[in-house]
Amino acid sequence: MSGFGGFLLRRAVGAVITLLAISVLVYVVFYATPGNVAQITCGPRCSPEQVRQVAEQLKLDDPLYLRYWHFLVGLIAGQDYSTGTSVAHCSAPCLGLSYQSDQQVLDIILTKLPVSLSLVLGAMVLWLILGVGTGVLSAWRRGRFTERLLTGLTLAGWATPVFVIGLVLMIVVCGELQLLPFPQYVNLTDDPEQWAWNLLLPWLSLALIEAAAFARMTRASMLETLAEDHIRTFRAYGVAERTIVVRHALRGALAPVIALNANNVGSAIGGAVLTETLFGLPGIGQELVHAVNVVDLPVVVGMVLVIGFFVVLANAVADVLYAVADRRVVLT
């Protein structure tokens, strides 16, 4: 196989293997975790008899490999679950039922994912504009006052925790100035305008932190490219410094920026817990933390798989972008 189709196929196969490996790992880790899962699931006031029932219902006493086998079967063929009084069918791809709520894990993911995607993709646009812009500006104005100012600002941004920025933004913009109401998540499909207005502050606070890393990375990468021989060629032919920076140096400096972006988008989908918590966004990160606390294994596995999927996807997109940016790169 060769060409773009072959690349996609190889990537897809690789992704499936990676995700299966992740799921095995999560199962093993949770199996080894101390604590009585049935007791936690049932609640503190359950009698030993009730706890036993829960353990039986959730098949907690089965050996690890059998539980993982059931998970795989459910994923491929679907599964029926007894909820005590009735039987619920969960069709393929079935990630199981939550121990806590008896809801299907897939349904939980599908309600949380749009929130996380809205937050991260919106913030990404902002952090790329802010970060790359700042990086380019400080590389162009290297050694001057502008650069020192920008370097100071980005370092400050990098060092500030997201909840400090977020809180300050909320207090100033929503509290003191009353320019915006306190954020509350609105679905994009329900009201696009409100969706954007309500996400503006979360976007900003996530983006400001991330932009700092991008600014540093872009600046370093630009300075490296600016020292290359082909830049000297264009200087020696009277091309203006601004054109050299924007047209020639930026293009050469993009590769590490693309790589960093793929990484950060992928991990922010499940990892923007602080931002989600601060602004009350019911996203993947928040749900994952909750599920880990109550040892809700099916939800944790499902969430981790979704996050893993986006990390793999983001990296595949990055590889395609490399090839678009640099014709010498061949996708394999």
Partner 1 sequence: MSLVQVTDLTVEFGDLKAVGGLSFTLEQGAALALVGESGSGKSTVASALLGLHNGTGARVGGSIQVAGTAVHEASDDELRRLRGAKAAMVFQDPLSSLDPYYAIGDQIAEVYRVHTRVSRRAARARAVEVLDRVGIPDAQRRSRSRPHEFSGGMRQRALIAMALACEPDLLIADEPTTALDVTVQAQILDLLHTLREETGMGLLLVTHDVGVAAESVDEVLVMRHGRVVEHGPVADVLGSPAEEYTRDLLAAVPRVDARRAARENASSDPGAQDAQDVVLEATGLRREFGRGKGAFAAVDDVSLTIRRGETLGVVGESGSGKTTLGRMLVGLLEPTTGEVRYEGHARVGVNPAVQMVFQDPVSSLNPRRSVGESIADPIRARGERDEKRIRGRVTELLERVGLEGAHYDRYPHEFSGGQRQRVGIARALAADPRVIVCDEPVSALDVTTQAQVVALLGELQRELGLALVFVAHDLAVVRQVSDRVAVMRRGRIVESGPADEVYDNPQDPYTKQLLAAVPALDPQVAARRRAARRELAAA
Residue ranges binding partner 1 (CB under 8 A): 228-230, 232-240, 247-248, 251-252, 325-328
Label residue 289 exposed, middle or buried (CB < 10 Å: 0-12, 13-18, 19+): middle
| CB closer to partner 1, 231 vs 304 | 231
Q: Are residues 116 and 270 in contact, defined by beta-carbon separation less than 8 angstroms?
A: yes
| CB closer to partner 1, 107 vs 224 | 224
CB of 331 to partner 1, least distance (A): 15
Tell me the residue type at 177: L
Q: Are residues 257 and 217 in contact, defined by beta-carbon separation less than 8 angstroms?
A: yes
CB of 319 to partner 1, least distance (A): 17
| CB closer to partner 1, 137 vs 291 | 137
CB of 144 to partner 1, least distance (A): 11
In this structure, what is the dihedral angle of CA atoms 284, 285, 289, 295, given to the nearest 10 degrees? 30
CB of 201 to partner 1, least distance (A): 38
| CB closer to partner 1, 148 vs 230 | 230
Whole-number Å distance between alpha carbons of 90 and 77: 9
| CB closer to partner 1, 32 vs 330 | 330
| CB closer to partner 1, 193 vs 229 | 229
Q: Are residues 213 and 128 in contact, defined by beta-carbon separation less than 8 angstroms?
A: no
CB of 130 to partner 1, least distance (A): 24
CB of 137 to partner 1, least distance (A): 17
